[in-house]
A and B are shown apart, each in its own frame.
Chain A
Amino acid sequence: GAGVSQSPSNKVTEKGKDVELRCDPISGHTALYWYRQSLGQGLEFLIYFQGNSAPDKSGLPSDRFSAERTGGSVSTLTIQRTQQEDSAVYLCASSLNPGLVFGPGELFFGEGSRLTVL
C-alpha cells in the first residue's frame, strides 16, 4: 500500500483478554517499529524489527507483550491478559533501511490502533 496500515483502528476489550494488533509496513521497508502512545503522553518505543528479527525489544513493558514479524513484512503485536494500563494507541512505523543517515531514513507512521481495556 501507499502507507503503513494498521488494524484494527479501534479495539475495546475486557481486562484479562488477549489482543492482537496488526501492522502492514510500506512495501520494501526492512525496518519496522512499534511505539505506544498513552493518553496525554509522548510516544514510547516498544520494539524494533530488522527483517524478521527483533534486535531490540527493550521497550516491551512486560512479558505479556510480544511481537513477531513474518516474511519481512507484516507484524503482529500481541498483548496477553490485558490490563487497564495497557489502554493506549499502538503505533507502527517502518523505514526503508535501519541506518539513519542525515535526511531520509525517516520513520513513516501508521494511524495507530486505539486499545481500550475495560
Chain B
Amino acid sequence: GESVGLHLPTLSVQEGDNSIINCAYSNSASDYFIWYKQESGKGPQFIIDIRSNMDKRQGQRVTVLLNKTVKHLSLQIAATQPGDSAVYFCAEIPYAGGTSYGKLTFGQGTILTVHP
C-alpha cells in the first residue's frame, strides 16, 4: 500500500550544527504534509506544515522543503540545540476534494540526538 517513510532512522549532530531529516512518500495524491516532534513520554507536537502547491516553507529555525517530482520531504533545523533531541515524524494527508480532516499517515520516525 501507499505509505510515508523515512530514509534515516537515527541522526546524531553536534549542538549548533544544522540538521536535515528526510522523508519519502509514495502517495502522489498527497496534498498536505506536516512535521511532528515527539519527546519521550509525550504526544507529537506540531512543528511546521506545507501544502503541495509550495516547495518551501520557513518557520522559526525550521524549514520544510517539498520535492514533488521525487516525492521527497525534508525538515531542516538550524543551529540545532539539545532541546531539539526527539523523534521526528513526517505525516501526510491526501487530497480529499475539499476540506480534509486529520486522518494522517505517519512515517516511521527519525531519532535526532543533539550532543552538547
Which residues of A pack against B, CB within 8 Å?
4, 31, 33, 35, 41-45, 48, 50, 56, 59, 91, 93, 95, 98-103, 105-112
Which A-B residue pairs are the 7 nearest by beta carbons? A109-B43, A99-B99, A42-B106, A98-B101, A106-B46, A43-B106, A107-B102
Grouping DSSP codes into helix (H, G, I), strand (E, B) and loop, the B interface class, with mixed when no group exceeds half, is: loop
Which residues of B pack against A, CB within 8 Å?
32, 34, 41-46, 49, 51, 89, 91, 93, 98-109
A40 vs B98: C-alpha distance when bound (angstroms): 33
Q: A31-B102, A99-B99, A103-B49 given. 20 additional CB < 8 A pairs?
A: A33-B102, A42-B89, A43-B89, A43-B104, A44-B106, A45-B103, A45-B105, A48-B102, A56-B103, A59-B103, A98-B99, A98-B101, A98-B102, A100-B100, A106-B34, A107-B46, A107-B104, A109-B44, A111-B41, A112-B43
Residues of B within 8 A of A100 (CB): 32, 93, 99-102
